[in-house]
């Protein structure tokens, strides 16, 4: 499928499509969302990434979707000790390739959030 628009528009259209099939993203900034809302946000971001990949969106649009996921991941790591423990104790399903660099990137977010809580 070929989608016209700049990368952010394409990413937004992809997320709109995902939202239409589910509960929708909370209409608040990440720092004002509850832990439950952040879980919804990160889940929808992951679905958006999957949908973007399956529909063949541009790498730039996919990078936008990944950044939105990473922002939600950071907010959830900061807000929830339970999420930090889940991340540390399981095989987290990374949205990016499972390289040592990417694993370290997500681990650093969790470690920083834990040290600041």
pTM listed for this prediction: 0.90
**Predicted pLDDT at 115:** 94
Q: Per-residue confidence of the chain (117 residues) as pLDDT tens digits? A: 456 688 999 999 999 988 887 778 898 999 999 999 999 999 999 999 999 999 999 999 999 999 999 999 999 999 999 999 999 998 788 898 888 999 999 999 999 999 998
Residues 6+ apart with CB under 8 A from 26: 33, 37, 40, 41
**Predicted pLDDT at 23:** 79
Quote the distance between the C-alpha of residue 8 and its chain's center: 15
Give the gyration radius of the chain's Cα atoms. Answer: 14
């Amino acid at each position: 499928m070929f989608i016209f628009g700049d990368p952010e528009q394409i990413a937004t259209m992809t997320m709109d499509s995902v939202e239409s099939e589910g509960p929708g993203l909370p209409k608040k900034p990440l720092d004002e969302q509850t832990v439950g809302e952040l879980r919804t946000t990160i889940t929808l971001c992951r679905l958006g990434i999957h949908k973007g990949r399956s529909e063949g969106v541009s790498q730039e649009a996919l990078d936008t979707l990944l950044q939105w996921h990473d922002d939600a991941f950071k907010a959830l790591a900061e807000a929830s000790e339970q999420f930090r423990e889940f991340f540390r104790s399981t095989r987290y399903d990374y949205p990016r390739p499972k390289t040592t660099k990417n694993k370290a990137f997500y681990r650093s977010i969790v470690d920083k959030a834990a040290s600041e809580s």
